[in-house]
Amino acid sequence: MANNSRSEARIRRHRRVRKSIIGSEQRPRLCVFRSLSEIYVQVINDATGVTLASASTIDHELRSKAEGLKKTEQASLVGELVAKTCQSKRDLPGCF
């Protein structure tokens, strides 16, 4: 087995998954990245290459709420925020 660094292995996994998962206007792709300290979520339309919504634990709205919470509780706060953003943008033309 080759000695790949952690970042190289992540990039290889990313390429392998992206071969089969493509976000469209009707069903955008949900991209989640979790670092050791933060979590980032994006909703992406790959047909146009546009990020429709995003949220993370470093956002000003969540920073104060997420302080002192466990990582899973922080992740659910981020999920709720990105869901609210998607629902509000759903009524706009060209989004979803």
The Cα–Cα gap between 91 and 15 comes to: 32
Element counts in the chain: helices (H) and strands (E): 3, 3
Over residues 5-60, the pLDDT tens digits come to 999 999 999 899 888 888 888 889 999 999 999 999 999 988 888 999 999 999 98
- On the question of pLDDT at 94 being above 70, the answer is no
- Residue 47 tokens, joined: 């047909």
Report the pLDDT value the prediction gives residue 18, as an integer from 0 to 100: 84
Instruction: Find the helix or strand (DSSP H, E) in which 60 lies.
Output: helix 60-66
